[in-house]
Amino acid sequence: MDVVSMGETMVLFTPDTQGQMRYARNFSSKMAGAETNTLIGLAKLGHKTGWISRVGKDEFGSFVLSAVRAEGVDTSQVTTDKNAPTGIFFKEMLNEKNVRIYYHRKYSAASFLDPSYIKEEYIANTKYLYITGITPALSQSCRDSIFYAIEIAKKHGKKVVFDPNIRRKLWSDEEARKTLLAIAEMADIVLPGINEGEFLFGTEDCEELAELFHNHGVATVIIKRGEKGAYYSASSEKGYVQGFKVEKVVDPVGAGDGFASGVLSGLLDGLTLEKCVQRGCAIGALVTTVSGDIEGLPDREILEAYTELPGSDDVTR
């Protein structure tokens, strides 16, 4: 594998109309999860990706497995649980810039993931281990699994890429801050957003945040700045990358996962760090133009057209 990740993927229900969800009568269902969003983004760009997780032995679990597999992600390390359900969540679209998420994932099959489900050789044979701060928030066994996976990656000389992806609804601020900083200290590359950096260190200054992460042992820091782009910092290079202009944001959820897929794809392609970040910004922007977490993730052709031919016709004939 090029990239392996682990975490929960659920079924997402979204009202067909905007506004408060109490007034919704019709919902569409899709599959969504931060880790699989990134893995699917990579798979669409031609990279080999694998997913470690658990789903319920139910119709939602079958849907998730078939959907992830259909996008080209290896699901051989996903187990089913007949006693615990597949998680679900709802996305309330008040308007384009105000989205609220409601989880129904407590005691889900994925929350019972523990180190015994992780095969050492699976991680030993990948190039990058990609993790987020969501999985350790699900349960103590999930937290143990994350640290175990990192230990395996380190043992075999694999790079660890970490997106804090803070979900404050899932645990206390104190517990989150302590755990996420401990994971960051073990990671090679960290991809925080501005708000996550402020949560962890109390500042929104990109250059200051990068130095604080470096002081915690992180070699490469890439800070997401939303529509403004990103800031990157490593021993040999640092700088700002401008974001791609989006005329209309349809759905902002999933943009950070798309950004991560772009950065990882660039690393796998041997690009400079600046070019990796530019690719991340491009994919993050594309994701916001489509409803759904994965529907806007591009293949190579779409990505190249978006980044290299901004003046091209709207219709390809």
Instruction: Give the active site residues.
Output: 257
What's the sign of the alpha-carbon dihedral 195, 197, 200, 201?
A: negative
Whether residue 5 contacts residue 131, with contact meaning beta carbons closer than 8 Å, is answered with yes
Distance CA 163, CA 196 (A): 10
Contacts of 122 (CB under 8 A, 6+ apart): 1, 4, 50, 52, 77
b/e 78-104 (16+ beta carbons within 10 angstroms → b): beebeebbbbbbbbbbeeeeeeeeeee
Nearest Cα to Cα of residue 282 among 224, 225, 243: 243
Within its chain, how far is the Cα of 20 from the centroid?
27
**Cα–Cα distance for residue pair 281/17, rounded to 1 Å:** 29
* Look-up of token digits 């929960």: 8
Whole-number Å distance between alpha carbons of 158 and 180? 20
Give the SS3 label for residue 217. coil
For residue 31, give the 3-state DSSP assignment.
strand
User: In DSSP terms, which residues pair with 93 in a beta bridge?
Assistant: 99
Nearest to 273 by CA among 222, 224, 223: 222
CA–CA dist 168, 97 (Å, integer): 19
Q: How far apart are CA 204 and CA 131, in angstroms?
A: 23
